[in-house]
Amino acid sequence: MSDAPLLSCRGLEAGYGASRVLFGLDFDIRVGQVLALMGRNGMGKSTTIKTLVGGLCPQRGEILFDGQAIHGARADHIARLGVAIVPEGRQCFPNLTVREHLVAFADRRNQAAEPWTLGRLYELFPRLAERAGHLGNQLSGGEQQMLAIARALSTNPRLLILDEATEGLAPVIRDEIWRCLAVLKAQGQTTLVVDKYVEKLLPLADHNLILERGRIAWQGSSAELAAQRDLWSRYLGV
Amino acid sequence: MANPVSDPSRATVQTAAAHPQPRLAVRFPGLVRRLPWLVLAVLALFPLLAPLGGLEYYVGFVRRLLIVAIAAASLNFILGYGGMAALGHAGFVGVGAYTVVALVDAGFSSAWLAWGAALLAAGLCAALIGAVSLRTRGVYFIMITLAFAQMLYYLAVSLRTYGGDDGYGLYTPLAMGAWLDGAHPDVFYWVVLGIAALVFAAFGRVAHSRFGYALRGIRDNETRMAALGYPVYRLKLAGFAAAGAVAGLAGGLLASHNAFVSPAIMHWTQSALLLVMVMLGGLGRRWGAPLGVALWLTLEEMLKLYTDYWHWPLGLLLLLVVFRAPQGLAALFERRDGHGGAR
């Protein structure tokens, strides 16, 4: 892991109209780091993600990606810089086949040392290879989630963002997703994960942020979070 | 416990149950795959065989059908693949036709120059109209494309130089070069057939390129496509301009075919008719446009022999298709066995 921050948020404030949701968030994601963003429902996790990927214009503060200001930039511009999101609800395209999903978004611009080819993606998710000719709406929820991750990886992202990637999945498929995230971590993929499963996040994350009413209530390493169980009940409702 | 992630049998059964396989494609997969080539061969031989059965008149009819199919295919490209419900496509056909008229009026006689200019002029016009229209969505997009097409229509009506409402006759056939006799109806037929084959091959190619996938993704969810790094507006504009250019080419060919151009060619009812034919054949299906055009124009031609009220049975046919086969005729020929299919 490098010390250089790939993404920096400084005094980030965002919301919807007059209603403010985020109140001055400050955090960095370093190259190769896995950052876990936690918090109960309605604490600002999804708003943070939406702001980072250009879905919402911040009201104040700045977001720097590799030193370049991206706050207020268009979503497609941010994506082309190398930020890929696996959205909540997966949102696969019903009229594209699995293979078409992976070909359509393939991007070599980010100069990855080992770019994600179709073969490598199928190796990571063998199930997708079996379903290569199926349309997005012909897949099970777990397969759609794998496809959403593979689709994001096909852009060779410098920062991968997963928003509730295991939400609504059967335990056995959740385990499959966690296994894949561990593989990605081992390969040095910089990742921001939003999820509710604290016990699964701890071994994966290098650094953890807990949001409480739009502010960072606590941050620290997984070892520190594992040792302070009172934080779990206080901020995460676990 | 069995891992559903690696249990292909279960999911395949679910898919097959959810998407029953159309009969034609399953019973005769080889025939369906080769059908386009077969049709092309039959169409290529048609001018030679037609005199044997006294069907010379129908050589001209098929030529018109091919030209309209080119225009319909371009509409299918933006509507079926890109989800852009334009109700002014005939406007671009008209721009192409009037470009040919303008060049002939200025003394040019080369068919290739005229058709190329028709393609470029309509493409440029579509780019300008698309740059404004594509900032709107849904019913507003339909209305604004309709409004632009009607503006073009009234512009053509006001062009006294080119006959205004009365139209403009192209009395001398355009020259196609030393090797091709432009005045020979069969030669023009084969030229149109060749251009149509190229257009359909190009649309098929583009539909299965990254650009085509991107258009289909945009049709499903523009916001998601933007989040994945696609410049949605620019892609839609490129698709819209390309479709407009091809419609213009069809307009240029139609001008040569009819040897006459009037503003009626770009009236909004012509746009609606193109839309109906594309829906009949199958929106977003590669062969949807030619199938819809072939069925509609053939029935129109046949019914006109028997009754002046030929609109009625065609209307009933449209209702039947909407209720019984909403995916259009092309879906009958399509493999939807869970392996992508030939969309």
Cα(A115)–Cα(A107) distance, integer angstroms:
9
Residues of B in contact with A158 (CB under 8 A): none
Residues of B in contact with A87 (CB under 8 A): 224, 227
pLDDT > 70 in chain A, percent: 96
Identity of the residue in B5, B226, B231 whose CB atom sits nearest the CB atom of A173: B5
What mean pLDDT is predicted for residues B324-336?
A: 75
pLDDT in tens, B106-155: 999 899 999 999 999 999 999 999 999 999 988 999 999 999 999 999 99
pLDDT of residue A108: 60
Cα(B215)–Cα(B212) distance, integer angstroms:
5
Cα(A206)–Cα(A193) distance, integer angstroms:
11
Cα(B23)–Cα(B319) distance, integer angstroms:
22
Determine whether B84 is exposed, middle or buried from the number of CB atoms within 10 Å of its CB (0-12, 13-18, 19+).
buried
**8 A C-beta contact, residue B293 and residue B247:** no
Residue written as tokens 């819809």? Answer: B292
With 90 as the cut, is the pLDDT of residue B182 above it?
A: no
With 80 as the cut, is the pLDDT of residue B337 above it?
A: no
pLDDT of residue B224: 85
pLDDT of residue B290: 94
Task: Answer yes or no: pTM beyond 0.90.
Answer: no
Cα(B284)–Cα(B201) distance, integer angstroms:
15
| Touching A: B residues 251-290, CB under 8 Å | 284
pLDDT of residue B197: 96
Residues of A in contact with B5 (CB under 8 A): 127, 142-143, 146, 172-173, 176
Q: How far is CA B222 from CA A89, B83, B127, B215, in A?
A: 16, 10, 20, 9
With 70 as the cut, is the pLDDT of residue A70 above it?
A: yes
- Of 3.40.50.300, 1.10.645.10, 3.40.50.720, 2.60.40.10, the CATH number of A1-74+198-238 is 3.40.50.300
Cα within 13 Å of Cα(A225), Cβ side: 29
Dihedral of alpha carbons A163, A188, A104, A81, sign: positive
Query: Which residues contact residue A17 at a Cβ distance below 8 angstroms, ignoring those fewer than 6 apart?
Result: none
Query: 3-state class of B261 per DSSP?
Result: strand
With 90 as the cut, is the pLDDT of residue A50 above it?
A: yes
With 80 as the cut, is the pLDDT of residue A67 above it?
A: yes
Q: How confident is the model at residue B23 (pLDDT cuts 50, 70, 90)?
A: low
Chain-chain contact of B220 with A95 (C-beta, under 8 angstroms): yes
pLDDT > 70 in chain B, percent: 89
pLDDT in tens, A109-139: 666 677 899 999 999 999 999 999 999 989 9
pLDDT of residue A110: 62
pLDDT in tens, A194-225: 988 888 899 999 999 999 999 999 999 999 99
Cα(A117)–Cα(A6) distance, integer angstroms:
24
pLDDT of residue B335: 54
Angle between helices B56-76 and B288-306 (to 10 degrees): 140
Q: Which of A161-165, B46-50, B329-333 has the lowest mean pLDDT?
A: B329-333
Interface mutation target, options B228, B234, B327, chain A, most CBs of A under 10 Å: B228
Compute φ and ψ for B305, nearest 5 degrees. -70, -25
Query: Which residue of chain A has the CA closest to B212?
Result: A104
With 70 as the cut, is the pLDDT of residue B65 above it?
A: yes
**8 A C-beta contact, residue B236 and residue B82:** yes
Residues of A in contact with B4 (CB under 8 A): 140, 142, 170, 172-173
pLDDT of residue B18: 41
pLDDT of residue A162: 94
C-alpha distance from A39 to closest chain B C-alpha (Å): 24
Mean pLDDT of chain B: 87
| Touching B: A residues 127-146, CB under 8 Å | 127, 130-135, 138-140, 142-143, 146
A–B interface: beta-carbon pairs under 8 A? 103
With 90 as the cut, is the pLDDT of residue B189 above it?
A: yes
Q: What is the ipTM of this complex?
A: 0.73
Determine whether B12 is exposed, middle or buried from the number of CB atoms within 10 Å of its CB (0-12, 13-18, 19+).
middle
Q: How confident is the model at residue B299 (pLDDT cuts 50, 70, 90)?
A: very high
Identity of the residue in A87, A96, A126 whose CB atom sits nearest the CB atom of B213: A96
Chain-chain contact of B229 with A134 (C-beta, under 8 angstroms): no
Q: How confident is the model at residue B339 (pLDDT cuts 50, 70, 90)?
A: very low
Chain-chain contact of A138 with B15 (C-beta, under 8 angstroms): yes
Chain-chain contact of A95 with B229 (C-beta, under 8 angstroms): no
Residues of A in contact with B3 (CB under 8 A): 172, 176
Where does B79-110 have alpha helices with state H?
89-105
pLDDT of residue A186: 93
What mean pLDDT is predicted for residues B288-300?
A: 93
